[in-house]
Amino acid sequence: MSQDHPTSPETDTYQDLLQKKSVRLLLVILISIAMPLSLWGLADWTHKKGLDDLRQQLDARMNLYSSNIVSELEKYEYLPIILARDPILKALFIPDATPEQVDRANRHLSAIRETAEVSVVYVMSPRGITLAASNWDEDMSFVGRNFQFRPYFKNAMLGKVGHYFALGTTTKVPGYYLSYPIENGQQIEGVVVVKVSVARLEESWSNSKEEVVVTDNNGVIIISSTEDWKFRTFKPIAKEKRDQLIQSQQYLNSPLAPIESGRENSIDDHTKRLTIRHPQGWDKNAPNWEDVYIRTRKILGTDWNLHYVFRESRLREDAIDSIIIGAFAWLIAILSFLYFMQRRNMINNRLHFQEQHQKTLEQAAIELESRVERRTKALSEANVRLEEEIKERLKAEEDLHMAQDELVQAGKLAALGQMAAGITHEMNQPLTAIRSYADNAKILLERNRLEDTRSNLEQIANLCSRLGKISGQLKVFSRKTPSEKAPISLTKVVTEAINLLSSSAKLEQVQIHNGINDDSIMVLGETIRLEQVLINLLRNALDAMGAQEKAEIWISASTNNRRVSLTIRDNGPGFDEKDMARIFDPFFTTKEVGQGLGLGLSISSRIIQDFGGVLKAHNHKDGGAVFTLELLQAPNG
Ligand code: ADP
């Protein structure tokens, strides 16, 4: 049965163990799949989120940079226009202008440059020769130099405002050129040019530690905090155009080489991801090649573009950070789970233990109950058996009693028979004698022998008194309840009894020694009946010793433990061993017929029993009979 339905705790535990093991294995597999997946997902999400955030950030930054450039350039937009109307400069175009006028114009331009904080301000003739310049007194003075080839000059000569970025051919300083024609009516007399340095912009941008790049309409990098990239391009320029640009000396001798790049993919319309060679000036520990995001937008009001270069490694750092955080979260989750499992196991174990304990207790209780039940049953059975035994015993006792009663009855009948025989014998003899005395008296009376008749009548009277005696003795048996006991003086009773027999003793020459001289000995009893017992015992002693020489009787008493022992010893023949057991039986006598009824000792024994005492007899070692009366001592006073 137990094989079909395994229910033992051992089997359960084994199955649990198997189940737990497979659950654990499953968990480990799940975690080892879920963890890298989730971490990868987290990294990817962080990357994308980072990119989204980046775009917004970059847009904000780029707006700032863009407006910075626009405001910087616009600031000077008005300057050539105003200067074109300046009479001091216009005086340069009066025919035969004096050297004083030229000098005045030079100083004027120098003052304006200083006030406007621009790079150079100069005035050109329609042929492109510089007539006056703010740097007239410097080594690199533009005065006398021809900048006819510059597009800004050409534009101004056409009546347009000229905007142009270039490296100064003389100063080699990059700058933004703004030009405006100096007009005299319909005629263009000359051109005024303001060169604005972009160095200030570059300087402020490089402090921000952001890679911000400005390319001009040719795609050439004109502003960059990375020195390496200056006058290079993100994309290679077509050879023809390149040659043309080199010839124009816009970028002096710069080879206009493209920045070395590898893979390129477009993220959106304005953003692309690019692998570029690591430029000098970036971190020294960085790898040779680096992935960057480049976001591009036009600078409004110009034909320039603003590029923001963002290193992907920064996004990666964020992704790595998120992976680390994610891994930590996993670790904490796993540890928490393990802790939870451990705790749950502990609680389960404890519960299991408690359940086991409970079960054990319950089993013990059941066992105890069944034991108690068994015990109770056994006890009740034993009880029933005992009751039956008691019943049997009672029955047996009853039977015994009945048997005893029967025996007693039989004994009584036997005793009655014996007594009847004794009485008959005792009575018959005197009755027969009375009959014959009466018959004789009748005859003697007829014969008138009065004296003889009297004698016969006396004999009859004697015999009648003898019969009275016999019946008197029998009266004792008719007494049913013992008489009241009272404290009596032992000395007194003994002395009385001796006195009553003293004449007989004297006659039979028996010496009685009364050893009782302590008058204070009091016993419980009745004077007359105790006297009767003593007389009977002394009479027996006298009878036993008969005509023996030196017949003596000793009477003594002792007290012990609230009992008084009275001893009457004679030096007669004592008892026959065979008669010892019977001397207290009623009608047992060794005396001749007519001498004794055999009732004395049985009556005496009964009287002493009535007093709560006991009468015993034994032979003295020196011969003679010894009777001991053990009586209850009465409290003195
Ligand atoms: P009875 O005197 O009529 O024989 P008892 O009952 O007094 O009856 O005595 C029973 C018997 O006990 C006596 O017949 C005698 O044999 C014996 N007996 C009693 N007293 C003595 C004694 N002092 N010495 C020897 N025998 C005794």
Same domain, 270 and 402: no
Q: What tokens appear for 626 in the block?
A: 């010894």
The whole-number average pLDDT for the span 169-198 is 87
Task: Tell me the mean pLDDT in the region 135-156.
Answer: 89
How many helices (H) and strands (E) the chain has is answered by 12, 18
Q: What is the pLDDT of residues 475-494, one digit of tens each?
A: 655 554 556 789 999 999 99
Q: Is 520 exposed, middle or buried (0-12, 13-18, 19+ CB in 10 A)?
A: exposed
Q: What is the pLDDT of residues 291-324, one digit of tens each?
A: 888 999 998 878 889 998 888 877 778 778 888 8
Distance of CA 370 to the CA centre of its chain: 32
Pocket probe mutation, ligand 1, options 476, 477, 535, 589, max atoms within 8 Å of Cβ: 589
Tokens 């690591």 — which residue? Answer: 278
207 token code pair: 């402090």
Cα torsion 467, 468, 473, 479: sign: positive
How far does residue 466's CA lie from ligand 1's centre (Å)? Answer: 20
Pocket test of ligand 1: the residue of 538, 583, 587, 606 to mutate, having most ligand atoms within 8 Å of its CB, is 583
Digit-coded pLDDT (tens) for 215-273: 988 889 888 878 788 888 988 888 898 888 888 788 887 878 888 788 888 888 888 88
pLDDT value at 1 more than 60: no
Predicted pLDDT of residue 109 = 94
Centroid of ligand 1 to alpha carbon of 444 (angstroms): 41
Question: How confident is the model at residue 478, as a pLDDT?
Answer: 56
Tell which atom from ligand 1 comes closest to the C-alpha of 603: 6
Higher pLDDT, 47 or 574: 574
Query: Residue 114 has which token pair?
Result: 């200083």
Q: Indicate the top mutation candidate among 540, 545, 554, 602 to test ligand 1's pocket, ranked by most ligand atoms within 8 A of CB.
A: 540
Cα–Cα–Cα angle for 258, 259, 261, rounded to 5 degrees = 115
Residue reference for tokens 């014959």: 436
Q: Which two tokens stand for residue 587?
A: 């009608």
CATH of the domain at 445: 1.10.287
Place of tokens 């000036």: 281
The closest residue, in CA terms, to atom 7 on ligand 1 is 600
Q: What is the dihedral angle through the alpha carbons of 127, 128, 134, 136, rounded to the nearest 10 degrees?
A: -80
Would residue 618 count as lying in a domain?
A: yes
Regarding whether 241 and 212 lie in a shared domain, the answer is yes
Is the CB of 589 within 6 Å of ligand 1? yes
Local structure of 133: helix, strand or coil: strand
pLDDT at 421 (0 to 100): 65
Q: Where does residue 125 rank: exposed (0-12), middle (13-18), buried (19+ CB within 10 A)?
A: middle
Are residues 556 and 418 part of one domain? Answer: no
Check residue 299 and give left, alpha or beta (phi > 0: left; psi -120 to 50: alpha): beta
Q: Are 413 and 529 part of one and the same domain?
A: no
Q: What is the pLDDT of residue 5?
A: 47
Cβ of 541 closer than 6 Å to ligand 1, yes or no, is yes
Q: What is the pLDDT of residue 159?
A: 86
Q: How many CB atoms lie within 10 A of CB 157?
A: 19
- Answer whether 572 contacts ligand 1 (Cβ < 6 A): yes
579 CA from centroid of ligand 1 (Å): 10
> Residue 404's pLDDT band (boundaries 50, 70, 90)?
low
Closest CA to 603 of 542, 531, 553, 524: 531
Q: Is the minimum distance from the CB of 583 to ligand 1 under 6 angstroms? A: yes
Cβ of 544 below 6 Å from ligand 1? yes
User: 486 and 447 in contact (C-beta within 8 Å)?
Assistant: no
Among residues 548, 538, 617, 541, the alpha carbon closest in space to that of 579 is found at 617
Claim to verify: residue 506 and residue 472 sit in the same structural domain: no
240 shares its domain with 168: no
The protein residue whose alpha carbon is closest to atom 16 in ligand 1 is: 590
User: Domain holding 490: CATH number?
Assistant: 3.30.565.10
Helical (H) or strand (E) element with 634 = none
Written as six digits, the tokens of 467 are: 């019969």
Does residue 174 share a domain with residue 226? no
- Let me know if residue 367 belongs to a domain: no
Helical (H) or strand (E) element with 163: strand 162-167
pLDDT (mean) for 155-163:
86
CA–CA gap between residue 106 and residue 132 (Å, rounded): 5
Question: What pLDDT, on the 0 to 100 scale, is given for residue 9?
Answer: 47
Contact 608, 629 (CB under 8 A): yes
Q: Which residues fall within 8 angstroms of residue 563, CB to CB, at 6 or more apart? A: 613, 630, 631, 632, 633
CB atoms within 10 A of CB 564: 21
What confidence tens digit (pLDDT) does each residue in 52-101 have? Answer: 888 888 888 888 888 888 888 888 888 999 999 999 999 888 888 888 99
The CATH number linked to 306 is 3.30.450.20
Question: CB–CB of 501/531 below 8 Å?
Answer: no
- Highest mean pLDDT: which range of 207-211, 551-555, 577-581, 605-609: 551-555
Closest protein CA for atom 21 of ligand 1: 540
What is the pLDDT, as a whole number, of residue 406? 66
For 179, residues 6+ apart whose C-beta sits below 8 A from its C-beta are 80, 152, 153, 155, 156, 161, 162, 164, 191, 192, 193, 194
Domain that holds residue 265: 200-314
Q: Which helix (H) or strand (E) holds 8?
A: none
Whether 576 and 494 map to the same domain: the answer is: yes
Q: Is the pLDDT of residue 170 over 60?
A: yes
Q: The tokens of 22 are what?
A: 């497979």
Q: Tell me, yes or no, whether 528 lies in a domain.
A: yes
Exposed, middle or buried: residue 607 (CB in 10 Å: 0-12, 13-18, 19+)? Answer: buried
Q: Which of 314, 339, 358 is the last residue of a domain?
A: 314
Taking all residues of the chain, what is their mean pLDDT, rounded to a whole number? 84
Residue 360 lies inside a defined structural domain of this protein: no
- 596 in ligand 1 pocket by Cβ < 6 Å? yes
Residue 433 covered by a domain: yes
Domain final residue, candidates 430, 446, 480:
480
Ligand 1 close to Cβ of residue 522 (< 6 A): no
Q: How many Å lie between the centroid of ligand 1 and the Cα of residue 171?
A: 185
Number of domains forming the structure of the chain: 4
Is the C-alpha dihedral spanning 505, 508, 511, 513 positive or negative?
Answer: negative
- Which is it for strands 221-224 and 261-266: parallel, antiparallel or unpaired? unpaired
424 CA → ligand 1 middle, Å = 21
- Atom 12 of ligand 1, residue of closest alpha carbon: 583
**Cα dihedral across residues 378, 380, 383, 388: positive or negative:** negative
Residue 337 has pLDDT above 80, yes or no: yes
pLDDT confidence tier of residue 287, bands split at 50, 70 and 90: low
In this structure, the answer to whether residues 518 and 593 fall within a common structural domain is yes
According to DSSP, the residues that pair with 297 across neighbouring strands are 306
Q: Are strands 563-570 and 625-632 parallel, antiparallel or unpaired?
A: antiparallel
Residues 605, 584 contacting (CB under 8 angstroms): yes
Q: Are residues 90 and 204 in the same domain?
A: no
Element (H or E) spanning 396, and its range? helix 312-446
- Write a three-state SS string for 535-594: HHHHHHHHHHHCCCCCEEEEEEEEEECCEEEEEEEECCCCCCHHHCCCCCCCCCCCCCCC
Q: How far apart are CA 168 and CA 170, in angstroms?
A: 5
Q: How far is the CA of 544 from the centre of ligand 1 (A)?
A: 7
More confident residue, 631 or 471: 631
Residue whose structure tokens are 């009740």: 380
> Which strands make up the sheet holding 120-124, listed edge to edge?
130-133, 120-124, 187-197, 174-184, 162-167
- What average pLDDT score do residues 559-571 get? 94
Ligand 1 centroid vs 509 CA: distance in angstroms? 19
> What is the model's pLDDT at position 105?
93
pLDDT of residue 4: 45
Separation CA 606–CA 600 (nearest Å) = 10
According to the model, what pLDDT value does residue 234 have?
86
Question: How many whole angstroms separate alpha carbon 388 and alpha carbon 621?
Answer: 53
Atom index in ligand 1 nearest the CA of residue 570 equals 23
Residue found under tokens 């970059």:
58
Residue 171 has pLDDT above 80, yes or no: no
Of ligand 1's atoms, which has the minimum distance to the CA of residue 588? 10
Domain C-terminal end among 162, 191, 220: 191
Q: Given CA atoms 238, 239, 241, 245 in this order, what sign does their dihedral have?
A: positive
Q: Please check whether residues 229 and 283 belong to one and the same domain.
A: yes
Q: 587 lies in a domain?
A: yes
Residue 8 has pLDDT above 50, yes or no: no
In a domain, 306, yes or no: yes
Model confidence pLDDT, tens digit, residues 343-363 = 888 888 888 888 888 888 888
Looking at the CA of residue 540, tell me the nearest atom of ligand 1: 20
State how beta strands 261-266 and 271-277 pair: antiparallel
Tally the C-alpha atoms within 13 A of residue 429's C-alpha that lie toward its C-beta. Answer: 12
Rounded CA separation 186/93 (Å): 15
Rounded to whole angstroms, the Cα distance separating 316 from 292 reads: 11
Which comes out higher in pLDDT, residue 212 or 512? Answer: 512
Report for 185-194, 250-259, 595-604: range of highest mean pLDDT: 185-194
Residue 624, helix vs strand vs coil:
coil
Residue 178, domain member (yes or no): yes
| Whether the Cβ atoms of residue 175 and residue 140 lie closer than 8 Å to each other | no
Alpha-carbon span 569 to 552, nearest angstrom: 8
The answer to whether residues 184 and 218 belong to one domain is: no
